[in-house]
Structure 1
Amino acid sequence: MSFFTFAYLIRLGVWGLAAALVQGGLLALSWLAWERVMANATAALRHRMACIHFAALVVLPVLTVVVVCWTVAGMGVPALPGSPAAELPLLMASYRKVFWLCLSLVMLWFAGALLMMLRLAMDARRVARLHRRRAPEAMVESVHRLARDRMSVRVQDIQIADVATPQIIGAWRPVLLIPRDLACVLSMAQWEAVLLHELAHVRRRDFGWNLLQRLQLALLWFHPAAWTLYGRVSREREACCDALAVRHGASATGLAQALVCLAENRVSPHLGMAISSQGELTTRVHRLLGVNRTGPLPAGLRLAAIATSMLCLLALGAGRLGLVDPSMADVYNASAFGPMILVDAHDDAGSFALRIKQGRVIEASVGNQQLPSDRIVQENDRVLLMSARRQPIVALTVTPQARIEWEGRR
């Protein structure tokens, strides 16, 4: 990979990070507005809207980078004869300054993303190393009956483990982990409500979706909006499972009581699904008991939410700012992604034309005569156009940006 190709990719990475910062702030404002608007909406609708905002944290920067590429590709080639090859040392010095700055930012982001990935791997390893044993047969039959008759799902296994709250692990072969002596602590209604909540996670395939969202969070570790929206997605996911459990026969009161009981010994489940989320217990209990309904919305709040969401889309126009950086087009033209560039030149002896790609002369013509490839001799940036008698016609210096310099012919 050439220096210019690598430099172009690094610059695009910086554009993506900058777009994520700007658009992420707008998305956070958009969610805050929609959260107020949807205060009385169903848990499923709130969760869907939170997921849309969280996914947009990645989708919008990617689209912005696409706009940058499209903008730069349309900037064209600068007036080549006015920028001779003799300027290359100065140009390269400026390119390298920008390159090292951009590379430092991208490497910082990469280091943070790698640490987040390692943390995720450690969480998975911690779950895998839990001391587990198969649950008693009566408990297994009870869970399978609830899964089959109430939720229409299948659980691969039910195990007793050293966890503080029940949780589902596994995306394709879900396993239910149950704390020791949990059945002795909860009443029958509470026990059944807790199991239905966990089975709701299986039905919604929450483990797999949560894993994907953790991976996205690892990529966006630097952005406060990513952590805020991930927290909102997690909160609404739990509310969805609460509502689904109640809809399939769980006691709302029993589930609320179980949440309070389990919260006393809660630990962070990481990859597993939690029966409660720290700091959100009161809200969840109020929702289950139907005591958190809000009053009429302020006038214009819905319009403000829509307008903020539209601003997130308009922020795609940030990609057009590539126009303010002419050197971006230079790096693009010199990279493997750049176009074949046609250079027309003339001096006292007549005209000649070149087609250049990444500093390599692909085709050449002198006057109206097309030169065969064996009469184009290039070594690094030095090019000789040869006559049929193998005599030099033109001696050129060619840069990766398709700038040329030659000694005038007479």
Structure 2
Amino acid sequence: MPELLFPIAALTLTFGVLIPALTLISRRVLARRRRTLSWTEFGSNTTYAWLVAPTLLPLIWLLSSALHQAEPSSSPRICLHDHGASTICADNAMLLGALLIGLSAWIVRVIWQAWPRHTLDRLPATDPRIGRIQRLIAREPGLQAMRVVVVRDAEEPLFTQGFLRPQVVLDRSFMDDADDAMLHAALLHEAAHIRWRDTLRYLLSRVCLGLNPAGALLRADRDHWRAAREALCDSEAVHMGGQPLALAQGLVRAARFRRDTATLNSAAMLCGHHLASLKLRLAILMQGPTRPGRSPGYAVLALGILAVLVLPHLESFDLLHAFHMGVERLYPPSR
């Protein structure tokens, strides 16, 4: 039984204490950011870091700790019980590894559900719409690396899908109703999503909040961040050369053409999901969007990830050892 107590305690501490505690802290910080920042500024990298860090950092710590427990040099130093031929560290590492594999299987299931599998009825290469898009892309340096597919009856008028090699899906009906200025501004908007890997970030936030026992506390902030991302991509599109009025007209026409979006939870869509946020975006475009600024969120998150990866393996850092011995003291020494 002592061999089981440590991994159970580690998982209980991770999911029952650390993740919920960090989630409460993150919720308070995000509430303050919503009060002090503009609606658009809430879509920054710093906001995203606060959304995923409460789950990501403890899970990486758990994984790194499990690897540390498998190190042969760790066994005699931190085990208080005599476990005979086997070492508690190796047993714990195996059990923690099995549980982490279970978590990984759940993550793979979420990714599989979110992965785009809907059939795209592409137009033939000879269709004049294909030539029109190719000419638009050729005239704009910021679009030349973009992969655009024109299809019949897409789920959304214009959206970006895919996590590793994103592509833009354009509905032919929306394309027929939009002039070149609208299409140019809309494609620049999607280029901003691709530049920031938003489809991948949407997926990671969905996984983190799904694994988080207190993830429901952050869902409203995640939705707010996604809506603000659309406004930030509008701003980037304008500062890359898109016409604000043309982009606003494209947003209105895209909202008119939208269809069922139930299968596009991890896609980046031109018109978004909420009418209220669409109205705000139109108002910002008419007033003149400000240039998007930089935020230190990713740098701080990267430092946090590096810390939780390295600290369990440092001999001078005794937190993991103290926790292990504290758990073992719950059982009397074997006689």
Q: TM exceeds 0.5?
A: yes
Cα distance in 1, alignment partners of residues 135 and 54 from structure 2: 40
- In structure 2, do the counterparts of structure 1 residues 248 and 33 end up closer, same or farther at CA, with 3 Å as the change threshold? same
Following TM superposition, by how much is the alpha carbon of 1:284 offset from its aligned partner in structure 2, in angstroms? Answer: 1.8
Would you tell me which structure has more helix in proportion to its own residues?
A: 2
- On the 8 A contact 1:161/1:179 being kept in 2, the answer is yes
- In structure 2, do the counterparts of structure 1 residues 287 and 220 end up closer, same or farther at CA, with 3 Å as the change threshold? farther
- In structure 2, do the counterparts of structure 1 residues 135 and 257 end up closer, same or farther at CA, with 3 Å as the change threshold? farther
1:238-387 mapped onto 2 (5 Å cutoff): 238-264=230-256, 265-268=258-261, 269-279=264-274, 280-290=277-287, 328-330=327-329
- On the 8 A contact 1:168/1:207 being kept in 2, the answer is yes
Cα distance in 2, alignment partners of residues 53 and 183 from structure 1: 38
TM-score under structure 1 length normalisation: 0.55
Give the counterpart of 1:162 among 153, 162, 181. 153
SS at match of 2:268: coil
Following TM superposition, by how much is the alpha carbon of 1:245 offset from its aligned partner in structure 2, in angstroms? Answer: 1.0
Aligned twin of 1:23: 22
Following TM superposition, by how much is the alpha carbon of 1:168 offset from its aligned partner in structure 2, in angstroms? Answer: 1.8
Cα distance in 1, alignment partners of residues 200 and 182 from structure 2: 26
Give the counterpart of 2:174 among 174, 178, 182. 182
Aligned twin of 1:12: 10
Following TM superposition, by how much is the alpha carbon of 1:27 offset from its aligned partner in structure 2, in angstroms? Answer: 0.5
Aligned twin of 1:229: 221
- In structure 2, do the counterparts of structure 1 residues 8 and 224 end up closer, same or farther at CA, with 3 Å as the change threshold? same
Cα distance in 2, alignment partners of residues 221 and 161 from structure 1: 41
Cα distance in 1, alignment partners of residues 162 and 136 from structure 2: 19
- On the 8 A contact 1:35/1:46 being kept in 2, the answer is no
Following TM superposition, by how much is the alpha carbon of 1:38 offset from its aligned partner in structure 2, in angstroms? Answer: 2.1
Deviations 1:253-300 (CA, angstroms, capped at 9, x unpaired):
22122222222324322232111222221222222223899xxxxxxx
Aligned twin of 1:47: 44
SS at match of 2:269: coil
- In structure 2, do the counterparts of structure 1 residues 242 and 273 end up closer, same or farther at CA, with 3 Å as the change threshold? same
Larger Rg belongs to: 1
Cα distance in 1, alignment partners of residues 234 and 177 from structure 2: 20
Letter in 2 for 1:48: N
Q: How many residues align?
A: 284
SS at match of 1:178: strand
Would you tell me which structure has more strand in proportion to its own residues?
A: 1
Q: Root-mean-square deviation (CA), in Å?
A: 4.6
- On the 8 A contact 1:156/1:174 being kept in 2, the answer is yes
SS at match of 1:181: helix
Letter in 2 for 1:276: C
Aligned twin of 2:294: none
- On the 8 A contact 1:166/1:178 being kept in 2, the answer is yes
Cα distance in 1, alignment partners of residues 209 and 288 from structure 2: 33
SS at match of 2:151: strand
Q: Tell me, which stretches of 5 or more residues in structure 2 are unaligned?
A: 69-74, 82-95, 291-307, 309-318
Deviations 1:11-31 (CA, angstroms, capped at 9, x unpaired):
211211122112212201201
Following TM superposition, by how much is the alpha carbon of 1:64 offset from its aligned partner in structure 2, in angstroms? Answer: 7.5
- On the 8 A contact 1:117/1:218 being kept in 2, the answer is no
SS at match of 1:241: helix
Following TM superposition, by how much is the alpha carbon of 1:200 offset from its aligned partner in structure 2, in angstroms? Answer: 2.3
Give the counterpart of 2:55 among 58, 71, 90. 58
Q: Tell me, which stretches of 5 or more residues in structure 1 are unaligned?
A: 81-102, 294-315, 335-400, 405-410
- In structure 2, do the counterparts of structure 1 residues 209 and 135 end up closer, same or farther at CA, with 3 Å as the change threshold? farther
- On the 8 A contact 1:217/1:227 being kept in 2, the answer is yes
